[in-house]
Amino acid sequence: MVPLTAVVEGETITGPDLSDEEWKNLQVRHKNGLPVTMACCGTPGHLRVPRNGTRHFYHAVDAGCHGAEESKEHLEIKYQLYRICQSEGWETSVEFPAPDRTWIADVYAERDGRKIVFEIQVSTLSPAVLEERDLKYRAEGIQSYWLLDHFLGRAKDFASRYEAHLYEGADRPGERIPYIDEALFATGPENHICIPNGIRSAGLDARKQTLFTTNNPQIPLAVWVKEVLKGNYQWYLEETAAGYHRKRRLLHMAAQALLRFRDFYEKIIRHGIYKEKAGCVTGGSKKLPLGSMTKRG
């Protein structure tokens, strides 16, 4: 990874938080021998300011840290998240590690016992890996929120899990329930992830640094983060999931009757058995009374 933080003289500092003068002074001192230690792994590092970019630190050659390189967009969004949470009065850290370093959150925020992490995912991440990483936060009692770039490009993967969840536990697995309008269960990618797996996410346009959901095609980053901190985005996901589960219970209650009716229609009416029996009553040279048809069953 490309960290925004490093340890200098025993203190963890965040590069973009420093003034221009403080950063230049740190650069001079580092050139004169002041060690810079990478907070993510404890290996030696250096300072860097890319053109039109965010000040950050980078690993020395052959430092041995195996974190992936982060894009310019990733760095900038990470720092914005950090600053927004700070401005809302949350105790906030960037590149916050677990005590055993099994995870390092892009941004960690805490207030009144509530713990939140924000993860920015610009590169492709499979649903299975996403779930595995999310479970680590749940085990620590932390609410996690994933900003997923290329969200719509992976929508089919998320939707397939959602549909599998919809028909999970069905009496006739893999068979769709007839006479049900599937639009009743239509929803967007963030709910396709949240409903079956409990993962909170939003679509990310990393280039524009905006977010989107099913109901809103373009959300400023600051607006969404503030709604998360207030608990409103979690409420939206939970209410959507609750509505889904109510409809799913009704679907399962009706499923057996609807399947029997469909089978009856296919065998008796559509394929002519009913017509043949009806012909015995009203057609042909010998007409039978309706009562005799009833007695014969």
Which range is least confidently modeled, 16-20, 23-27, 271-275? 271-275
Cβ-contact 107, 118 below 8 angstroms: yes
171-180 pLDDT per residue, tens: 766 667 777 7
Compute the distance between CA of residue 172 and CA of residue 67 in angstroms, rounded to an integer. Answer: 46
Which pLDDT score, from 0 to 100, does residue 229 have? Answer: 98
Cβ-contact 199, 151 below 8 angstroms: no
237-290 pLDDT per residue, tens: 999 999 999 988 888 788 778 877 777 777 666 555 555 555 555 555 454 443
Query: Residue 220 corresponds to which tokens in the numbers above?
Result: 């400023």
Average pLDDT over every residue of 198-207: 94
Burial class (CB in 10 A: 0-12, 13-18, 19+), 18: middle
Which pLDDT score, from 0 to 100, does residue 260 have? Answer: 77
127-151 pLDDT per residue, tens: 889 999 999 999 999 999 999 998 8
Which pLDDT score, from 0 to 100, does residue 25 have? Answer: 92
63-122 pLDDT per residue, tens: 666 555 678 889 899 999 999 999 999 999 999 989 888 899 999 999 999 999 999 999
Which pLDDT score, from 0 to 100, does residue 181 have? Answer: 79
What 8-state DSSP symbol labels residue 112?
Answer: T
| Stated pTM of the model | 0.77
296 pLDDT higher than 90: no
Which pLDDT score, from 0 to 100, does residue 197 have? Answer: 92
Which pLDDT score, from 0 to 100, does residue 50 have? Answer: 73
